[in-house]
């Protein structure tokens, strides 16, 4: 969150009209809210999808999945490889 706040401060401190900076900040916050590093809806039914997004976005690595079942890890590894 600190990095996001710093990004927002830079955006607001930059060149441009205040209303342009406001709307740019609004768009950026909405985009950042979709990032799994910021917020993830963690339900058992979408756990696998959430973990795939976290790995793809670099929030966690495959080594962080060591505590999960072998079948879940294998499924995530397979899905991550397909996305590259």
pLDDT at 1: 64
User: Cα separation of 36 and 14, whole Å?
Assistant: 27
User: Which structural domain, as residue segments, surrounds residue 18?
Assistant: 1-33
pLDDT at 21: 93
**Do 82 and 46 belong to one domain?**
yes
**Do 45 and 84 belong to one domain?**
yes
pLDDT at 43: 77
Quick: pLDDT tens for 4-62.
888 899 999 999 999 999 999 999 988 887 765 665 566 788 888 888 888 888 888 99
**Do 51 and 74 belong to one domain?**
yes
- Work out the end-to-end distance of the chain between its first and last CA atoms, rounded to an integer number of angstroms: 27
**Do 73 and 48 belong to one domain?**
yes
User: Cα separation of 21 and 53, whole Å?
Assistant: 29
Q: How many domains does the chain have?
A: 2
pLDDT at 84: 59
Between residues 61 and 2, which one has the greater pLDDT? 61
Q: Indicate the pTM of the whole model.
A: 0.53
């Amino acid at each position: 969150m600190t990095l996001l706040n710093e990004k927002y401060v830079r955006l607001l401190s930059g060149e441009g009209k205040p209303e342009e900076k406001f709307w740019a900040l609004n768009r950026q916050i909405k985009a950042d809210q979709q990032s799994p590093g910021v917020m993830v809806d963690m339900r058992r039914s979408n756990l696998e999808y959430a973990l795939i997004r976290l790995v793809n976005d670099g929030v966690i690595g495959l080594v962080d999945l060591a505590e999960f079942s072998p079948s879940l890890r294998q499924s995530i590894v397979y899905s991550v490889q397909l996305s590259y």
